[in-house]
Structure 1
Amino acid sequence: MTDWTSRDVAVVDLEGNGQQPPDLVELAVVPITAGVIGKPVTWLVRPQTPITGFARRIHGITNEMVADAPVFADIEKDVRTALEGVAIVAHNAPVDLGVLHRKLPGWEPVEAFDTLRLARRLRPDRVSYRLGALVEAFDLAEGLPPELRPHRAAYDALVAARLFALLATSPQGRPLTLAELRGQLSGDGDAPPAALF
């Protein structure tokens, strides 16, 4: 049985411009290697259309902040390298994966794990599954540098990485197998949540 720490993981978080479909203004990737959370790599990106006031109020990224940032085509090679051959983790992963699929034609993740779905399955007692609520419930921001703030890509990717490591480890400290994690996402895994925890 292969546990999740045997798989290289990239935890991703994207911040958008508030348009539909959303375009990137910030992207962070946090590697997890052998179960150890690494440092985030972050890119500010100049979107094709301006950041809306609504989006700016959420993440605090202004059009002025991205005016001199590269367009996505300029960082695409680096992003592909960061995401190559790894399992992708994100909170509410379909949103992030949808943007990445549009921005990276032909790219497919090796595998994807959604911490939102995992949290709903493995922590059914929670009142809210918003990332901020889970960060507060499990003290996932403890010790992070003060310059990192919620709704910025590096912060959200780091706390999502901590959330994934928490969810993917039993209370007894046993890393869950990849099969157990996949089963939780499919809803019919090797064991129901009660047997895992």
Structure 2
Amino acid sequence: MNFTSWPTLLVVDVEGNGTTPPDLVEIAALPVRSGVLDSATAGAWLIRPERPVTARAADIHGLTNQVLADQPVWGQLADEVGEFLAQDWICAHNAHVDYRELQRHLPGWKPTGVIDTLRLARATHKDLPSYTLDALIKHLAPDLSRAPRVGRHRATFDAYATAQLLIAMAGHYETWDQLIAAAVPPGLPGAPQPEEDPTLW
């Protein structure tokens, strides 16, 4: 894979407060440029949700109401996050979820394309027993020695791990077009358009 052919790409992860639909409590966006993670320019935001964090959600990611009590609310961060994401490609694990929530919170925002490492993993490593982020980390053993020390289920760590998995799996493809053909879910931005059947007219 010629990584220099890649457009600017942001690996994103969001965490919610456990309600339906969720309020966002954390967002991370890690740039990948020419196949290299750029942690120095990454974006990370903690958000005080309108509704309290549920006990189940807090048990998963550790972001309790007390931890978030002094953080800004979404209305104070929306413009900043929207400007950071701009119209770049994004990548996430099980990307439908992150894309849906970001779009719900940022009306009018639309990335150029959406890469899903879950879809990519199913195409690249067939017949694995599981394709969860934890299972792929165990199977592919990416270097997480420089990952944020906040741990799994925090947005900054999960974005870092997802970026490493993306780069590892990208090595199985010769071109960017081949990668996105395997990794972009149908119906999401960036999905290859099917060729139209030729007609007489």
Under TM normalisation by the shorter chain, which class is it?
Answer: 0.7 to 0.9
Distance of aligned partners of 1:147 and 1:83 in 2 relative to their CA distance in 1, 3 Å threshold: same
Q: Which secondary structure state, in structure 2, belongs to the residue aligned with residue 106 of structure 1?
A: coil
The answer to whether 1:163 aligns with 2:165 is: yes
Contact 2:149–2:157 (8 Å) recurs in 1: no
Distance of aligned partners of 1:5 and 1:59 in 2 relative to their CA distance in 1, 3 Å threshold: farther
Q: Structure 1: which 5+ residue stretches go unaligned? A: 190-197
CA–CA distance in structure 2, aligned partners of residues 153 and 97 of structure 1: 14
Deviations 1:41-78 (A, max 9, x none): 21100111010011011101100111110111211122
Distance of aligned partners of 1:63 and 1:128 in 2 relative to their CA distance in 1, 3 Å threshold: same
- Alignment partner of 1:129 out of 112, 128, 131: 131
Count of residues paired in the alignment: 185
Partner of 1:193: none
CA–CA distance in structure 2, aligned partners of residues 72 and 141 of structure 1: 33
CA–CA distance in structure 2, aligned partners of residues 90 and 186 of structure 1: 11
Distance of aligned partners of 1:72 and 1:2 in 2 relative to their CA distance in 1, 3 Å threshold: same
Percent identity of paired positions between Structure 1 and Structure 2:
40
Deviations 1:152-183 (A, max 9, x none): 0000000000111111112xxxx642211222
Partner of 2:182: 184
**Normalised by the size of structure 2, how large is the TM-score?**
0.84
The correspondence of residues 44-193 of structure 1 with structure 2, limited to 5 A, is 44-145=46-147, 147-170=149-172, 176-185=174-183
Q: Which secondary structure state, in structure 1, belongs to the residue aligned with residue 66 of structure 2?
A: helix
* Alpha-carbon distance, 1:128 to partner: 1.0
Distance of aligned partners of 1:85 and 1:145 in 2 relative to their CA distance in 1, 3 Å threshold: closer
* Alpha-carbon distance, 1:140 to partner: 2.3
Deviating above 3 A after TM superposition, structure 1's stretches of 4 or more consecutive aligned residues are: 1-5, 185-189
Deviations 1:104-155 (A, max 9, x none): 0100111000000110111113211000111122222531357230000000
CA–CA distance in structure 2, aligned partners of residues 187 and 88 of structure 1: 12
Letter matched to residue 180 of structure 1: Q
Computed over aligned residues only, the root mean square deviation of the Cα atoms, in angstroms, reads 2.3
Letter matched to residue 24 of structure 1: L
